[in-house]
Chains A and B, each alone.
Chain A
Amino acid sequence: MTEITGYTLITIGVLFDVFGCIGLVRFPDVYNRLQAATKCVTLGTCLLLAGVAIACGSGSISAKALVCIVFIVLTSPTAAHAIAKGAYSFGVKLWKESVVDMYGEDIDNQSQEDSSTKGA
């Protein structure tokens, strides 16, 4: 019974990973792609590890798998945030049909204020 539950979880996890990769290929710009990559890969990999933990029963493997879940949930969004900010600072534009870009507006305002104070 534990094996069936474990393998079911692993299957669902791999499916989410696959859908995340499809999103990664189909979405238009780096920010949308990061959305697909972080969300689906986080849940997919966590389900996969949870499946491993359940299938292996109690013991060292399950304990390590559960700790890995914690670390993935902590680090994956942080890495996505770092990539998104890095891409923006590098000058990667948003998709051409994007609706608003308040981040860019604020950066422009900031630099205008800086240059005006420097000019004065």
Chain B
Amino acid sequence: MRRLVYFGLGFVVWIVYTWPFVDGKIDIQVLVAGLIASAVVAVLFHEILPKEHYIFVSPVRIFWFLVYLPVLFYYIVVANLDVVYRALHPRMPIHPGIVKIKTNLSSDSGVTALANSITLTPGTLTVDVGEEGVLYVHWINVKATDIEETTKRIGKRFEWFLEKVFE
């Protein structure tokens, strides 16, 4: 099952990348090469690919992921305006520091997605993932050092979506 999912995924990426639809016809050679390539990838590398393969075939999870994307995009834009403001301000209003936050996500992919989302959102950058769902986050403008307060300010806004996608 896992190999099949990654085979399909690799084949989709191959089609999008090589784009064999020239003049309304489909290039069979490219398709066959893609089938072989994705089969090799699925058989050889399925062990190092994410363990949560069911994410890619569950409509509910894909739906919540699609809902999550605009939210993430909004925070990315806010983050960029924030960085631009701090970078261009003459006095550079930054109070950096590394704080801890706690997450309830347990799957590897979920924690990875949360860490990457935190990195892309206003003023925060994940430095390391510790034990028991602790994330160390570099915060450019530290407003709280208490672990519950930081979790509420940094992590909670994504966790709600990511739990539905990855757990």
Residue ranges of A at the interface with B (Cβ–Cβ < 8 Å)? 16, 19-20, 22-23, 26-29, 31-32, 34-36, 38-40, 42-44, 59-60, 63-64, 66-67, 73-74, 76-78, 80-81, 84-85, 88, 94-95, 97-104, 106
Contact = CB atoms under 8 A, between A and B. Distances in A.
Contacts of B3: none
Interface of B: 13, 16-19, 76-77, 79-80, 83-84, 86-88, 92, 94-100, 112, 115-117, 119-120, 123-128, 130, 136, 138, 140, 142, 145
Which one of A35, A60, A101 has the highest number of Cβ atoms from chain B below 10 Å of its Cβ? A35
A35 B140 contact: yes
A51 to B, nearest CB: 15
A77 B127 contact: no
Contacts of B142: 99-100
Contacts of A34: 125, 138
A102 B83 contact: no
A55 B82 CA distance: 28
A67 B128 contact: no
B84 A100 contact: no
22 contacts: A23-B87, A27-B87, A31-B127, A35-B123, A36-B83, A39-B79, A39-B80, A43-B76, A64-B17, A67-B13, A77-B116, A78-B112, A81-B115, A81-B126, A84-B125, A94-B98, A97-B96, A99-B97, A100-B142, A102-B136, A102-B145, A106-B130
A38 B79 CA distance: 10
A98 B96 contact: yes
B76 A22 contact: no
Nearest to B19: A60
The 4 closest A-B pairs by CB, nearest first: A23-B87, A60-B19, A77-B119, A99-B97
Contacts of A23: 83-84, 86-87
Contacts of A76: 120
B116 to A, nearest CB: 4
B96 A103 contact: no
Contacts of A77: 115-117, 119-120, 126
A84 B83 contact: no
Contacts of A19: 80, 83-84, 87-88
